[in-house]
Amino acid sequence: MNTTPRTTLLALGSNIDPERHMVAALDALDELLGIEGASPIYEATPVGSPDMPRFLNAAVRVTTALSPEDLKFEVIRPLERRLGRVRTADPNAPRTIDVDIAAVQGLVVDRGDLRLPDPEILTRAHLALPLADVAPGFRHPALGITLGEIATRFRDEPGISRRDDVRWP
């Protein structure tokens, strides 16, 4: 179902051959949706399993008329499968690519497997920092504060750093 075009923020992560998979996912998202802005790429300690390979994370800004459900199931999930993503019962398992809808302009959703904005924006540096880089003035639809304001609490967070050697485009 199509809706009014809205600014949509996507968060990406990879810890299986991440340099290759992040760039491939960014290329594909640009081809499919037209990326309007991309954050620098960050390297972060995995949540819940510090002995797992470290993740590369980034965020992109797009404008789309697709509903969040259509975006997730008709664009993102097929893209993840194409890049070798295998979903397991462990939500923190290593992955070739993970693309999540982090926030949609003016939209709050809490149903089943779709929660917008992503509640972890408030608690995870690997989400807050790249999202603020790509859309610092974007207002959290439920709280009214900007992503730039949210990210300030993570600026000195240990376990996350920019990877300026991995770039897109």
> What average pLDDT does this structure show over 53-67?
96
pTM above 0.85, yes or no: yes
With beta carbons less than 8 A apart as the criterion, state whether 40 and 58 touch: yes
Distance CA 166, CA 147 (A): 23
Distance CA 51, CA 49 (A): 5
Q: Tokens for 67, please give them.
A: 């509903």
Work out the percent of the chain whose per-residue pLDDT is above 70: 98
Amino acid at 150: I
Q: What are the residue numbers of the active site?
A: 85, 95, 98, 100
> What average pLDDT does this structure show over 26-35?
97
Amino acid at 6: R
Work out the percent of the chain whose per-residue pLDDT is above 90: 79
- CA 112-117-118 angle, to 5 degrees, is 70
Structural domains of the chain, with CATH: 2-162 (3.30.70.560)
More confident residue, 168 or 29: 29
Question: What average pLDDT does the chain have?
Answer: 93
Reported as half-sphere exposure (CB side, CA atoms, 13 A), residue 77 has a value of 9
Give the pLDDT confidence score for residue 66 in this predicted structure: 96
Res. 1 pLDDT band, cuts 50 70 90? low
Res. 25 pLDDT band, cuts 50 70 90? very high
- Give the CA distances from residue 48 to residues 38, 92, 93, 144, 168, in Å, rounded to whole numbers and listed in that order: 26, 7, 10, 29, 28
With beta carbons less than 8 A apart as the criterion, state whether 93 and 57 touch: no
The tens digit of pLDDT for each residue in 119-166 reads 999 999 999 999 999 999 999 999 999 999 999 999 889 999 999 999
